[in-house]
Amino acid sequence: MKFRDLKAQYNKYKYEIDSAIRGVINSSRFIGGEEVNVLEKRLAEYVGVKNCITCANGTDAMTLLMMAWDINEGDAVFVPDFTFFSTGEIVSFRGATPVFIDIDRDTFNIDTVKLEKAINKVLEEGKLTPKVIIPVDLFGLPADYLKIEKISKKYNLRVLEDAAQGFGGSINGKKACSFGDAATTSFFPAKPLGCYGDGGAIFTDDDSLVQLIKSLKVHGKGDNKYDNVRIGVNSRLDTIQAAVLNVKMTAFMDHELEDVNRVFKLYNEKLEGVVETPVIPDGFVSSFAQYTIKLRSKEERDLLQVKLKRQGIPSMIYYVKPMHKQDAFSELSFNEGDFKVTNELCKTVLSLPMHPYLGEEDIDLVCEVIKAYLV
Ligand SMILES: *Cc1c(COP(=O)(O)O)cnc(C)c1O
């Protein structure tokens, strides 16, 4: 059994993907071009925003926004404590200070009550200037943007939606990647919409950002690449990756998003009363980048992982370490008591195989092993 079966997806779309890649090679146009333009239009339309700008990966997508918003030393950026390193890394990369916030135990997403407290604390201390909130749509579930937008308005902060895992999710029909002032996603192969390498995108309704980001991602170009009006980076999506994504985007819209939600429902039914299963709030849709259960202790979790492995079932721990405990952030000081939920979940979460091509027999096998162990 595969944790995320990219080969099954390829086998189903082999003809389309192979022809798309061959088309790019035949054209000998490897950077930019029609495939990239078409993809950006389709992504923007699907998400329901005016602009989509692709780039080299999800980390660059966030970095480009930090550059465009001129986030620098002395600025505070609020980031969940339970996420992939990148969400905090891009803040420190700019010389700004990430302020880590504990998460909500049910949704795994940023705790909005603790967020507001942390903003007030930064304001009282007076050392840093609060600038941006980066909610993460963890495991595919959108963060609570209704509450986050109220807080951002009250304190006049920007919101960057980190939807690296969230593409395809929604709240009351409004799609992930459309929340906040701008949103970003990643096309890393294992994400809900993945390519065959690295890729990323920025989404925004703010037209004033578009020219600036298009310049920043190509060496701070002015009229052209050899007219440079600011310091930028080199961050483009390869044409071959765009061609692959154009095929995968169709599969994602046609059935993959539905299929992961079918897997989620089957797991939840079969594991009801056995173990703590994911909670999807009313009106929310997850794109299930991960299906994550909670055990009662670290010992119970670690032993379950061993039992699954013995039956050939892969599982993963997202995440082993809270952000505030990463060595890279050791110069920042924290109050350990502020991270109760994250500290607990790092010890007790386990992500099970989850992808659109997971069959019911495999789901049954996973659930049988869990039941045999826990019941
Ligand atoms: C994967 C991921 C990123 C980074 O995306 P890359 O394309 O790998 O740079 C950022 N944030 C979160 C939450 C992620 O899961």
CATH number of 255-374: 3.90.1150.10
pLDDT at 360: 97
**What is the CA(372)–ligand 1 centre distance, in A?**
35
Is the CB of 167 within 6 Å of ligand 1? no
pLDDT at 240: 98
pLDDT at 16: 98
CATH number of 6-101+108-247: 3.40.640.10
Residue type, 110: I
pLDDT at 278: 98
Averaged confidence pLDDT in the chain: 98
> 321 - beta bridge partners?
none
pLDDT digits (tens, 9 = 90+) for 318-349: 999 999 999 999 999 999 999 999 999 999 99
Q: Per-domain residue ranges for the chain?
A: 6-101+108-247, 255-374
Atom of ligand 1 nearest to the CA of 59: 9
Atom of ligand 1 nearest to the CA of 61: 9
Radius of gyration, CA atoms only, the chain = 21
Helices (H), 48-85: 58-68
What parts of the chain have a pLDDT lower than 70?
none
Is the CB of 83 within 6 Å of ligand 1? yes
pLDDT at 287: 98
pLDDT at 225: 87
**What is the CA(178)–ligand 1 centre distance, in A?**
17
Nearest to 272 by CA among 284, 283, 264, 281: 264
Atom of ligand 1 nearest to the CA of 165: 15
Residue 28, phi then psi, degrees to nearest 5 = 55, 25
DSSP 253: I
